[in-house]
Amino acid sequence: MVNLKSASEVISLQSVHKAYANETVLHDINLSIQSGECIVLVGHNGAGKTSLIKMMLGLTRPTSGSIEVLGRAPAFSAIVAQRLALGYLPESVAFYEAMTGHEVLSFYAQLKGSSKAECKKLLDLVGLGDAAKRRVGTYSKGMRQRLGLAQAMLGNPQLLFLDEPTTGLDPVLRQHFYELIDDLQKEGATSIISSHALHEVESRASRFVILKKGIVVACGTLDELYQQAVLPVRVKVSVTPGEASRVVERMGSAASITDVNNQSFHLSCLMDEKMSLIRHISSLGDVVQDMQIMPPRLDELYSHFMNGDGPS
């Protein structure tokens, strides 16, 4: 079969396999990433997320298969040529502790050809402006993580690789971090994020890649994952106080009904039955005061694919 490469494709993996000694960590990975996407890699520890990121960065090579990043193989000479286009925040950030935050960022800025003015701007942006002259050895884990993010953002990278980027950040800083990523995406950057914090990325990702023991068990948008999983949609129905039991009786066997109380109840149905069920509820008249449709959450989809017919 002939694959026609999209003009906006920035990363391509074809039949990628990775093994260390006798242990295979990635099996037959096929993935195409388009410019401006935010791809989120999810999976348990050891699923192969970090190995996949390192191969896309050119830090390790696939045992077999092919990888192209910005049209080239991401290894050694090519990675030097691409350096200005890439930003990388590893899961475990380590900097020379005797240097100040400003000195650390200035060192990386020299490697990328960025200006001192950009260093100051980025330190302010990640909330380290007041701590820029302090030694990194005095920084908390969250502060080091923010310094790592500033380093990754130097030079307005075209591709941003982030491995568990919000580790050590409090909720306010996590929100601020993703706002920074959103701003980069609006400027055309592509993000590849490995994360366990599913609630943080659920509304931000273009697509999710779910890995289980080195195998892609699901890939797609939230809607596409809904379709693949065939999980039920939940609906909360609010009715006139005291009328819930009567409304449930009028529903008959139209859906599975639970959590009946004085003025509400929950029901569930498959996705292709949703509209028929909504029309049925609407036909009950003014006794129905509200309907809240609750599709499966990302954590439910993740659990479904992790416990499904994947590798044992």
Range name among 34-38, 108-112, 174-178 with the lowest pLDDT average: 174-178
All residues at 6 or more sequence positions from 101 whose CB lies less than 8 Å from its CB, including other chains: 123, 128, 131, 132, 133, 134, 136, 139, 143, 147
Per-residue confidence (pLDDT) for residue 312, from 0 to 100 = 37
pLDDT of residue 1: 31
The whole domain housing 289 covers 232-295
Does 272 share its domain with 202? no
Residue 181 lies in a domain: yes
Q: Which structure tokens are listed for 167?
A: 């580790």
Number of domains in the chain: 2
Q: Say whether both 163 and 188 belong to one domain.
A: yes
Per-chain mean pLDDT for the chain? 87
Rounded to an integer, what is the distance from CA 192 to the centroid of its chain? 7
Which of 182, 197, 227 corresponds to the end of one domain? 227
Based on the fold, state whether residues 149 and 67 are members of the same structural domain. Answer: yes
Residue 311 has pLDDT above 70, yes or no: no
User: Is 311 part of any domain?
Assistant: no
Residues 216 and 134 in one domain: yes
Residue 292, pLDDT score: 92
Answer with the one of 182, 204, 227 that is the final residue of a domain. Answer: 227
Q: Are residues 18 and 115 in the same domain?
A: yes
Mean pLDDT of 250-254: 76
In this structure, the answer to whether residues 159 and 242 fall within a common structural domain is: no
Question: Residues 272, 147: one domain?
Answer: no
Predicted pLDDT at 240: 94
Residue 307 lies in a domain: no
Whether 256 is covered by a domain: the verdict is: yes
Residue 141 sits in the same domain as residue 31: yes
Q: What is the structure's pLDDT at 272?
A: 81
What is the average per-residue pLDDT within 263-270? Answer: 89
| Residue at which a domain ends, from 182, 200, 227 | 227
Residue 78, pLDDT score:
52
pLDDT in tens, 23-72: 899 999 999 999 999 999 999 988 999 999 999 998 899 999 999 998 88
Q: Report d(CA 261, CA 204) in Å as an integer.
A: 35
Tell me the pLDDT band of 79, cut-offs 50, 70 and 90. Answer: low
Does a structural domain hold residue 308?
no
Please give the average per-residue pLDDT across 196-221, as a whole number. Answer: 91
> Which whole number is the average pLDDT over 91-107?
93
> Do 182 and 285 belong to one domain?
no
Q: How confident is the model at residue 93 (pLDDT cuts 50, 70, 90)?
A: confident
pLDDT digits (tens, 9 = 90+) for 7-27: 589 999 999 999 988 889 999
Residue 11 neighbours by CB under 8 Å, 6+ apart:
31, 32, 33, 56, 67, 68, 69, 70, 159, 190, 192
Lowest-pLDDT choice from 105-114, 165-174, 291-300: 165-174
- On the question of pLDDT at 277 being above 90, the answer is no
Q: Is residue 3 part of a domain?
A: no
pLDDT over 70 at 84, yes or no: no
Judgement on whether residues 181 and 264 belong to the same structural domain of the protein:
no
Q: Is residue 80's pLDDT more than 60?
A: no
* 236 and 223 in a common domain: no
What percent of the chain lies above the pLDDT cut of 90? Answer: 49
**CA angle 102–105–106, rounded 5-degree value:** 80
pLDDT (mean) for 93-97: 90
In this structure, the answer to whether residues 152 and 179 fall within a common structural domain is: yes
Residue 130 lies in a domain: yes
Residue 174 pLDDT: 83
- 81 has a pLDDT exceeding 90: no
In a domain, 305, yes or no: no
CATH number at residue 138: 3.40.50.300
| CATH value at residue 247 | 3.30.70.260
